[in-house]
Amino acid sequence: MIEINWTLIFLLILLLVSADKIITYYNIKAVEKNFPDVDKFSVERNPLARKFFQDFGLFWGNILYGFVSIVTFLLALALIKWTLSLFGIPNPLSIALWVMVVLYGMAIANNLFFLFKFNKWIP
């Protein structure tokens, strides 16, 4: 069994956030290319992320918002771990990490769906 340590956690967070931000970048590029009459940033439903894109541009806004995503991920991980430890559940960090990976994985899957949709790869 793999021991959960902070190096593994940070690598996993970096992998998940990078995948999410890369897919978001290509989603907005696809909207810009295939739907020129639509505001390209309107597809981003997160108002804070949209503000970063509008203020810093798509590339730098994505990178800067990636740092916000990492901090948010760590805060959510700590909150879930703390809640699990209140109930005396063993290995709360491992369970919290799995919960966060599943939740972030669903967000990435949602972004992939829209990437396929905006590129007109699916009807």
User: 């810093």: which residue's tokens?
Assistant: 56
| Long-range interactions of 38-43: CB distance < 8 A, separation 24+ | 43/114, 43/118
Task: Look at residue 3 and tell me whether its pLDDT is greater than 90.
Answer: no
What mean pLDDT, rounded, does the chain reach? 94
Instruction: Answer whether residue 22 is part of any domain.
Output: yes
This prediction's pTM = 0.90
Backbone phi, psi, residue 40, to 5°: -65, -30
Question: Which letter does DSSP use for residue 4 in this model?
Answer: P
Instruction: Answer whether residue 123 is part of any domain.
Output: no
Burial of 33 per CB tally in 10 Å (0-12, 13-18, 19+): exposed
Task: Look at residue 117 and tell me whether its pLDDT is greater than 90.
Answer: yes
| Residue pLDDT, tens place only, 56-83 | 999 999 999 999 999 999 999 999 999 9
Q: Look at the chain and report how many structural domains it folds into.
A: 1
DSSP 52-110: HHHHHHHHHHHHHHHHHHHHHHHHHHHHHHHHHHHTT-SSHHHHHHHHHHHHHHHHHHH
Instruction: Answer whether residue 40 is part of any domain.
Output: yes
| Residue pLDDT, tens place only, 84-107 | 999 999 999 999 999 999 999 999
Instruction: Answer whether residue 23 is part of any domain.
Output: yes
**Structural domain for 29, as ranges:** 6-118
pLDDT band at 1 (very low <50, low <70, confident <90, very high): low
Instruction: Answer whether residue 1 is part of any domain.
Output: no
